[in-house]
Amino acid sequence: MKTGQITTTGSAVVLFDNTGGHYSKLTVKARTANAADMYVGNATVNATSGYELDAGQDVEIDIKGVVKVYVFGAASHTATFIAV
């Protein structure tokens, strides 16, 4: 199991890196204190191309192999994750 969180900067940032392919499931959650939506996707994720998460909402992602998951949000918003 691996857990963590990241604060966004207004551009896409790596939330999770599965180098080594040790994990198979990832849950990403936008913190309830966030004032705006966050977006989950690849390295080019933004407000028009990502999977939208409202404050407090989460998404579960099945992952296989080496993969990086990125988040995009306004500066100072936080996303948390747990990988198993």
Domain that holds residue 54: 2-83
Whole-model pTM: value is 0.92
Whole-number Å distance between alpha carbons of 55 and 33:
7
Tens digits of residue pLDDT in 44-57 = 999 999 999 999 99
Can you give the pLDDT at residue 21?
82
For 49, phi then psi, to 5°, come to: -120, -5
Whole-number Å distance between alpha carbons of 68 and 51:
15
Task: List the chain pLDDT tens, one digit each, 84 residues.
Answer: 999 999 999 999 999 999 888 899 999 999 999 999 999 999 999 999 999 999 999 999 999 888 999 999 999 999 999 999
CATH code where residue 39 lies: 2.60.120.770
| Domain total of the chain | 1
